[in-house]
Structure 1
Amino acid sequence: MEGVGLGAVAAAKAYANFDSAELATWKAGEPVPFLFLASTFEAIANQPKRLQMTQLLVTAFRTILATTPEDLLPAVYLCSNQVAPSHEGLELGIGDSILMKALCQATGKSMQKIKDDYAEAGDLGNVAAAARAKQKTMFKPKPLTVQGVFKAFQAIARTQGTKSQERKVDLINKLLVSSTDVEPGFIMRALQGKLRIGLGDETVRVALAHAQSLHRHGADNADGKLANRLETAVQAVKQAYSQCPSYDALIPALLQYPIEDLPDHVRFTPGVPVKPMLAKATTGIAEVLEKFTDQEFTCEYKYDGERAQVHYTEDGKVFIYSRNSENNTGKYPDIAAIVPSMVREGVKSMVLDCEAVAFERATGKILPFQVLSTRKRKDVEVADIKVQVCLFAFDCLYLNGAMLLQKPLTERRTALSQAVREKPGELQFALFKAHSYTSTDVEELGTFLNESVAAGTEGLIVKTMDSTYEPSRRSLHWLKLKKDYLEGVGDTLDVAVIGAWFGKGKRSGVFGAFLLAVYNPEGEEFQTISKIGTGFSEEQLKQFSEELRLHTIPTAKPYYRYSETLLPDIWFDAKTVWEVKCADFSISPRHKAALGLADPDKGISIRFPRLVKVRDDKTPEDATSAEQVAEMYFKQALTSGQQKGKQEDEE
Structure 2
Amino acid sequence: MAGGKRAAAAATKKKKSSKKKAKQEANAAGVGDKSVEAAGRLLSYDPAKPVTWKSGEPVPYLFLAEIFESISETTKRLEIAELLTNAFRTILAAGTPEDLLAAVYLASNTIAPQHEGVDLGIGDATLIKMLAEATGRKESAIKSDYTKEGDLGIVAMMSRSTQSMMFAPPKLTIVGVLKEFRAIAKTEGTKSVDQKKGKIKKLLVAARECEAGYVTRSLQGKLRIGLAQQTVTTALAHAVVLHAETKDGKCADGKTHAELADRLGAAVDVLKQVFSECPSFDEIVPALLMDGGIDKLAERCHFRPGVPVKPMLAKPTCGVSEVLQRFSDVEFTCEYKYDGERAQIHLCEDGAVKIFSRNQEDNTPKFPDVIRALPTYLQEGVKSVVIDCEAVAFDRAEGKILPFQILSTRGRKNIDEKDIKVNVALYAFDCLYLNGENLLQKPMMERRKALYSAFKEVPGEFFFATAKVSRDVEELQVFLEDSIKENTEGLIVKTLDATYEPSKRSLNWLKLKKDYMEGCGDSLDLVPIGAFHGRGKRTGVYGAYLLACYDEESEELQSICKIGTGFSDEALESLSNSLKDTVIDAPRGYYKYGESVAPDVWFAASQVWEVKAADLSISPTHMAAHGLVDSTKGIALRFPRFLRVREDKTPETATSAEQVADFYNAQATKQEFNNGGDDDEF
Q: Is TM-score (shorter-chain normalized) higher than 0.5?
A: yes
> Unpaired runs of 5+ in structure 1?
none
For residues 16-415 of structure 1, what are the structure 2 equivalents within 5 Å? 16-70=43-97, 71-132=99-160, 137-218=165-246, 220-221=250-251, 222-224=254-256, 225-258=259-292, 259-415=294-450
Cα gap change, 1:6 to 1:302, in 2 (>3 Å): farther
User: Are the counterparts in 1 of residues 335 and 492 from structure 2 also a CA contact under 8 Å?
Assistant: yes
TM-score scaled to structure 1, two decimals?
0.96
1-structure distance, mates of 2:30, 2:382: 41
2:613 counterpart (582, 593, 599): 582
Report deviation, 1:141.
2.4
The residue number in structure 1 matching 2:563 is 532
Q: Deviations over 1:133-191 (max 9, x none)?
A: 66554543211000110001001111233232222211110000000111000111111
1:490 counterpart (505, 509, 521): 521
Cα gap change, 1:466 to 1:339, in 2 (>3 Å): same
1-structure distance, mates of 2:486, 2:381: 34
Cα gap change, 1:573 to 1:465, in 2 (>3 Å): same
Amino acid at match of 2:250: D
Q: Report percent identity of matched pairs.
A: 57
Q: How many residues align?
A: 645
User: Are the counterparts in 2 of residues 38 and 182 from structure 1 also a CA contact under 8 Å?
Assistant: yes
> Is structure 2 residue 484 aligned with structure 1 residue 453?
yes
Report deviation, 1:123.
1.0
> Is structure 2 residue 669 aligned with structure 1 residue 640?
yes
User: Are the counterparts in 1 of residues 428 and 465 from structure 2 also a CA contact under 8 Å?
Assistant: yes
> Is structure 2 residue 628 aligned with structure 1 residue 600?
no
The residue number in structure 1 matching 2:503 is 472
2-structure distance, mates of 1:374, 1:86: 24
User: Are the counterparts in 2 of residues 534 and 610 from structure 1 also a CA contact under 8 Å?
Assistant: yes
Report deviation, 1:534.
2.2
Cα gap change, 1:474 to 1:650, in 2 (>3 Å): closer
Report deviation, 1:505.
3.0
Q: Deviations over 1:578-627 (max 9, x none)?
A: 11111111221211101112222221111111111211112212211111
Larger radius of gyration: 2
Cα gap change, 1:55 to 1:187, in 2 (>3 Å): same
TM-score scaled to structure 2, two decimals?
0.92
User: Are the counterparts in 2 of residues 595 and 604 from structure 1 also a CA contact under 8 Å?
Assistant: yes
Q: CA RMSD in A?
A: 1.6
Amino acid at match of 2:539: S
Q: Report the secondary structure of 2:346's partner residue.
A: strand
Q: Report the secondary structure of 2:635's partner residue.
A: strand
Q: Deviations over 1:60-97 (max 9, x none)?
A: 10111111232111110000011100001111241101
Amino acid at match of 1:141: P
> Unpaired runs of 5+ in structure 2?
1-27
2-structure distance, mates of 1:68, 1:602: 45
Amino acid at match of 2:204: L
| Worse overlay, 334-343 or 407-416 | 334-343
Q: Report the secondary structure of 1:546's partner residue.
A: helix
2-structure distance, mates of 1:646, 1:251: 51
User: Are the counterparts in 2 of residues 8 and 230 from structure 1 also a CA contact under 8 Å?
Assistant: no
User: Are the counterparts in 2 of residues 206 and 234 from structure 1 also a CA contact under 8 Å?
Assistant: yes
1:514 counterpart (542, 545, 550): 545
User: Are the counterparts in 2 of residues 354 and 393 from structure 1 also a CA contact under 8 Å?
Assistant: yes
Report deviation, 1:211.
0.3
User: Are the counterparts in 2 of residues 587 and 648 from structure 1 also a CA contact under 8 Å?
Assistant: no
2-structure distance, mates of 1:642, 1:140: 63
Report deviation, 1:569.
2.1
Report deviation, 1:643.
4.6
The residue number in structure 2 matching 1:504 is 535
Q: Report the secondary structure of 1:22's partner residue.
A: coil
Q: Report the secondary structure of 2:45's partner residue.
A: coil
Q: Report the secondary structure of 1:565's partner residue.
A: helix
User: Are the counterparts in 1 of residues 636 and 679 from structure 2 also a CA contact under 8 Å?
Assistant: no
Report deviation, 1:460.
0.3
| Worse overlay, 348-357 or 614-623 | 614-623
